[in-house]
Chain A
């Protein structure tokens, strides 16, 4: 299935070295900086919507135009924010995390993080 040349597997030490490298820390930081606050935000906004529908039905029944009330509009707004967050995430990943991930993957394939390799010396905090 895989080319035999690629089968020169990475050693556990290489993974550890890569994990401890500053660029990996940066990759993780950038991933988390977007994913965690955004998860919190959409989850809170969704819960707010559910709780308002449940415990403030009169507020949600406020008519905005004709038979369309605030609850239906906020429900449609959930669709809008979901599409928007999807778009923002893709833009963030393309711009901020993919370049680091791609570069690290190439370096790992070249075994740059193997102990003794010059390329990894900057991140070497472990013997």
Chain B
């Protein structure tokens, strides 16, 4: 239905949208070039020389984490479904406590560039690095897919282009820019792009929030009342259940989604990677604290923006626009401030997508170059800068793959918050159990790690493939095929406990004796910070 209206439903002035986005690109390109002067070693390229301050990193984390899903997806879900969309933001925020309390500082103290560094510390290096790299690539690709789908939806709405070829061209442009940032700027350039973007995004959301609240006399109750007036027939946007309350299966789906959201964050490789860019564990802590405040405040804004879009634009118009649910925030911007505000918000949304895909690309390429190429293939015998060279090549390959996937994702029309939720489910299933076991269970073995990572990954992706997301119902990727024997759209409820169980079982059934000396080193380093990688001096 949404696609039919695409051609004549463009809003705003494409020239304004393009010029604001162009200004962002020019400024960030300039900064990226400046940042690239100091890119010499692997620590520079992957971890910005570990010279980013805690406060800066907190801002960059917010820029990395507040993806198009947060901005467009959550606002859209709240606009259309009300309360049920709110759960996304709560899960995405509470999840940070797992990172703060259990993961961030200990990982900063023990890892160099990737999650696998910690696992390789006391387990057989090559198999665990391979497993961690595969799950990192899988999570990154899911996440990239969601961002590219978001880019596609925005393009149709904002730039006044329609038709497959034009949309594909824009996705290619976004992908090419992202590759450029990553190749030239490395982690330092990417960090600056994310910081600028976070500032713009939060400022833009603040303006919209105040504006919407102003329209309703700063009264949340009348705002919700306004959203209710335009709500889809028979739907109460203030109460839970509009999206997930229909049947017993959808209720279970909601719980499953909630579980994946809260456990996914601390297993996201591009989030973990940000912890390695600061000089000490204390800075890692400080950056998470900043990130929690910025992200939390942003989600409070998005609640207002979501209900505001529901009240001032209305679900009927949102669902009828190209990009459907994801169009809520841009449509609201147009309603409030006309062409200029729409142009600003559109520019911010593009910047958002660009910054997040750059972060994902550098993470995925670091994992391949550092874990697979340097350790598994070359067994550590890599010439100086050989690893970074491979990382750069990998970034180009990943960029090309995500351009391809993004073009395919344009056709699907799924809510991008939902696609990101699937990436969270994969991260929570494949990565988090192994990270927690490695940090807190001294008897955990290689076999336990492998069972947990591969088991969690295979079960999670497998359940998605056999779910109604992929086949069997209208709106699925293959609506005409029927292999949807798993009823839930969110796999976390099954795959996360299964992965924890497999990690435990694999350890119990393995003959491997845990290495007490290595375990002592890991634990002492994790808790005291001795021997942690230091910042690079330039």
* Chain A residues packing against B (C-beta within 8 Å): 1-2, 9-10, 12-13, 15-16, 18-19, 24, 27-28, 31, 34-35, 38-39, 42-43, 46-47, 49-51, 53-55, 57, 60-61, 65-69, 71-72, 75-76, 78-79, 82-83, 85-86, 89-90, 93, 98, 101, 104-105, 108-109
List 20 A-B pairs, Cβ < 8 Å. Answer: A10-B530, A18-B520, A28-B527, A35-B101, A46-B90, A46-B94, A49-B90, A57-B239, A57-B240, A66-B221, A66-B225, A67-B220, A68-B220, A68-B224, A71-B83, A72-B224, A82-B292, A83-B292, A105-B530, A108-B528
Shortest Cβ distance from residue B98 to the other chain A in the assembled complex, whole angstroms:
7
Residues of B within 8 A of A (CB): 41, 43, 83, 86-87, 90-91, 93-94, 96-98, 100-102, 219-222, 224-225, 228, 236, 238-241, 244-245, 251, 254-255, 258-259, 262, 282, 285, 288-289, 292-293, 296, 299-300, 516-518, 520-521, 523-525, 527-531, 534, 536
Other 17 A-B pairs with CB < 8 A, given A83-B296, A86-B289: A18-B524, A24-B524, A34-B101, A42-B97, A50-B255, A54-B251, A67-B222, A67-B224, A68-B220, A68-B238, A75-B86, A82-B93, A86-B292, A86-B293, A90-B289, A98-B282, A101-B527
> B43 contacts which chain A residues (CB < 8 A)?
1
Is the beta-carbon distance between A47 and B94 smaller than 8 angstroms? no
A64 to B262, CA, bound (A): 27
Main SS of the interface on chain A? helix
How many Å from the CB of A94 to the closest CB on chain B? 9
Nearest A residue to B290 by beta-carbon distance? Answer: A86
B258 is contacted by which of A50, A69, A85, A101 (Cβ under 8 Å)? Answer: A50
Cα distance A101–B175 when bound, in Å?
Answer: 44
Smallest distance from the beta carbon of A46 to chain B beta carbons, Å?
5
B91, B251, B255, B520: most-surrounded residue (chain A CB, <10 A):
B520
Question: Of B222, B236, B240, which contacts A53 at CB under 8 A?
Answer: B240
Are B528 and A60 in contact (CB-based, < 8 A)?
no
**Residue of A with least CB distance to B516:** A16
- Chain A to chain B: the 7 pairs with minimum beta-carbon distance, closest first: A66-B221, A50-B258, A12-B517, A67-B224, A53-B240, A19-B520, A61-B239
Q: How far is the CA of A55 from the CA of B154 in the complex (A)?
A: 36
Task: Look across to chain B and name the residue whose beta carbon is closest to the beta carbon of A31.
Answer: B527
Contact (Cβ within 8 A) A66 B222: yes
Q: Is the CB of B240 within 8 A of A71?
A: yes
Interchain nearest-CB distance for A7 vs B (Å):
11
Residues of A within 8 Å of B241, CB to CB, are 53, 57
Indicate if the CB atoms of A54 and B240 lie closer than 8 Å.
yes
Known contacts A19-B523, A93-B285; is A60 also within 8 Å of B240 by CB?
A: yes
Chain B nearest Cβ from A30, distance in angstroms: 10
Quick one: given A65-B221, A78-B94, are A54 and B245 in contact (CB under 8 Å)? yes
Closest Cβ neighbor of A71 among chain B residues: B240
Specify which chain B residues have a CB less than 8 angstroms from the CB of A18 in the assembled complex: 520, 524, 528
Bound-state Cα–Cα, A101 to B529, Å: 7
B530 touches A47 (CB 8 A): no
Known: A16-B516, A57-B240, A86-B100. A24 touches B255 (CB 8 A): no
A10 with B101: CB separation less than 8 A:
no
Query: In the complex, A16→B516 CA distance in Å?
Result: 8
User: In the assembly, what is the distance between CA of A43 and CA of B266, in Å?
Assistant: 14
Write the nearest CB–CB distance from A90 to chain B, whole angstroms.
6
